[in-house]
Structure 1
Amino acid sequence: MPRYYFHTENGDRIRDDQGEELAGVEAAREEAVTVLGEILRYRGASFWDTGSFSVIVTDDGGRTVVRVTAAASEEPQQGAPASEAGR
């Protein structure tokens, strides 16, 4: 099974030197979303101070296979109807 590494970035990059063996890229994508969700849940309201947080997944060769980023903004998304802006 291939090994994938889940690095995190929020201004500083924290490298994952252990990695995790997974079935393939699709499993790595799912795990990246899970990891990002856990980080956001842990950070709670302090996420607003960070502004964005990313999980970067690389393979054994160091190639990026997926990057998932969550970004915080107090501005409504451009083009979003006003009824959705407050959600």
Structure 2
Amino acid sequence: MPRYFFDITSEHAVQDEDGEELASSESARDVAIRIAAEVLPVHSRQLVQTGRVAVSVRDERGVIVHELECRLTSRSPAAR
């Protein structure tokens, strides 16, 4: 089974060194969505400060196969 690695980027990058064996890239995408749902509340301060929190999925070769990105964009009332 292929191994996938889940990296978190917000104020600082956290690189997954262990990874997880999963049946497919689609399974890895589903895990990335669950990870994002878990880390977003923990990284909410970084989201406000940096405007971005992301979970990247790398395959065994180090190629990013999925990236889930949350961005915070503020718009002024005059821009509406």
Identity percentage over the alignment? 32
Q: Deviations over 1:9-54 (max 9, x none)?
A: 124321100001111100011111111111112234x131231011
TM-score, normalised relative to structure 2:
0.83
Aligned ranges 1:14-53 → 2 under 5 Å: 14-44=14-44, 46=45, 47-53=47-53
Q: Which stretches of structure 1, 4 residues or longer, exceed 4 Å deviation after superposition?
A: none
Q: Distance in 2 between matches of 1:14 and 1:75?
A: 29
Structure 1 segments unaligned to the other structure (5+ residues): 77-81, 83-87
SS at match of 1:68: strand
- Cα RMSD of the aligned pairs, angstroms, is 1.7
TM-score, normalised relative to structure 1:
0.77
Which has the larger Rg?
1
Report what 1:85 is aligned to: none
Structure 2 segments unaligned to the other structure (5+ residues): none
Report what 1:2 is aligned to: 2
